[in-house]
Structure 1
Amino acid sequence: MMQSRTQNDVVVSDTDADSSNHRDFVTPIPHHDQNQINNNDADVDVNASSQREQQQQQQEEVTHILQLIASTGNFWHDWDKLKSMLSFQLKQVFSEYAEAKMTSEEQYASLGESYSELVNKLDEALSCFIEGPPFTLQRVCEILLDAKGIYPNLSKLALALEKNLLVTSTLTISPDPYPQTVVQEQADQENASEEQKQEADNAAQNGVEPVVADKDEVMIEADVDDDMKVDTEAFEDINKSSETDSEPNANSA
């Protein structure tokens, strides 16, 4: 039996009251939990940005070293580390060709093999050099630095690299000093970076928002005094990432 009660001249039925009491409500997120979610999102953005900057710096470092080899014909770095850089550059260059985004069927029609098979074949040919780089290293670097300009066709690029990696003679690390221009550039950049940091600290202490330099204007080069160390594992991680990104989707056709 429905009962009603009067509150301030408004009739409210018990069924309406019960219905309102059982109405579904979305529990609001506590303020501190919402802040935590926002902070987590910000951390993800910062990490992604940091990773992109790191990859860009490594790309610049690889390019700089290959340019030095292409211009001098000599190399000064540990061969295993240099090999990782060459492998990274090779995969990066190949990923820029249209064949990298084709289906498997299209790749076989264009290349006679799949894109991944072609890349792995050349990478393995590079890996076969244990004691040192092939004596064609200078030409390999020249090709990898301007691949699309020299060989617009991927199959011709692959053929040229394969030809230069079929040799058996190898080079030895250069006994000559590392080019002083590179050392001086590194020192100048480190000094400029330190000065900018000091200016930013001084501005912050004075309550003035520091002016952030354009990241394109400040390039981070390889360490040349401490045995010119290069983080091989970082390059290998990027190589794996490049392979995953460029893996064709055979079912997309």
Structure 2
Amino acid sequence: MNENKEMIQHDYQNQLKDFYEQTQEIVSQIQQGIRIKKDIPIQINNLMSQLKPILESISQNGEIQKYNWLYLRSLIVITTRDMLLNMQKLFPYEKTAQNEGFEDELDIVLQFLCVFEQKPPFTLQRICELLIDPQKHYKSSKKILFAMEKLVNVST
């Protein structure tokens, strides 16, 4: 049984590394403040859904030691983008009085996430909870967007 668990763990490590390699350019563009306008390619979406158990595990126990943080960060950044865009489709976001729209706020959240290069934010477990089931607590793209901004705008 323990050998089977190690085999699954090794497979996730390889998939996570593959995901990182496939998304490195996208994450780099986000870090540079370049807005990603196109959809994520199908193969990345498929790999992202295969890696969802990693996020579920982190949301339950907060443990990430077994994963390379840089690889995991790519998964978190891309999944956050995907989740927030889906929430925007379900619950359209109106511009604020300062004329900032959803995309502006999304860019801020993603850039904050990219700042964590050496270690994850201490709020990672809560971030993963929202990534797994965003509608459990939020029925508004604006509210979940600001909740995510608050979670990634931390110092560790």
Do the structures match in fold with TM over 0.5? yes
1:118 alignment counterpart: 105
Question: Which structure is higher in helix share?
Answer: 2
Structure 2: state its 5+ residue gaps: 1-40
1:88 alignment counterpart: 78
For 1:1-253, what aligned pairs fall within 5 Å after superposition? 52=42, 54-75=43-64, 76-98=66-88, 107-109=94-96, 112-169=99-156
What's the Cα RMSD here?
2.6
For 1:130, what is the secondary structure of its paired residue? coil
User: What is the CA–CA distance in structure 1 between the aligned matches of 2:122 and 2:133, rounded to whole Å?
Assistant: 19
How far off is 1:98 after superposition? 3.9
TM-score, normalising length from structure 1?
A: 0.41
User: What is the CA–CA distance in structure 2 between the aligned matches of 1:141 and 1:133, rounded to whole Å?
Assistant: 12
| Structure 2 CA distance for partners of 1:111 and 1:146, relative to 1, 3 Å | farther
| Structure 2 CA distance for partners of 1:108 and 1:88, relative to 1, 3 Å | same
The letter of the residue matching 1:72 is N
User: What is the CA–CA distance in structure 2 between the aligned matches of 1:109 and 1:99, rounded to whole Å?
Assistant: 17
1:187 alignment counterpart: none
Fraction of identical pairs, as percent: 24
How far off is 1:168 after superposition? 1.1
Larger Rg: 1
For 2:52, what is the secondary structure of its paired residue? helix
User: What is the CA–CA distance in structure 1 between the aligned matches of 2:105 and 2:45, rounded to whole Å?
Assistant: 26
Contact 2:59–2:125, Cα closer than 8 Å, also in 1: yes
Contact 1:100–1:115, Cα closer than 8 Å, also in 2: no
Q: How many residues align?
A: 115
Structure 1: state its 5+ residue gaps: 1-50, 170-253
Contact 2:70–2:118, Cα closer than 8 Å, also in 1: no
User: What is the CA–CA distance in structure 1 between the aligned matches of 2:109 and 2:102, rounded to whole Å?
Assistant: 11
Which 4+ runs in 1 deviate beyond 6 A? none
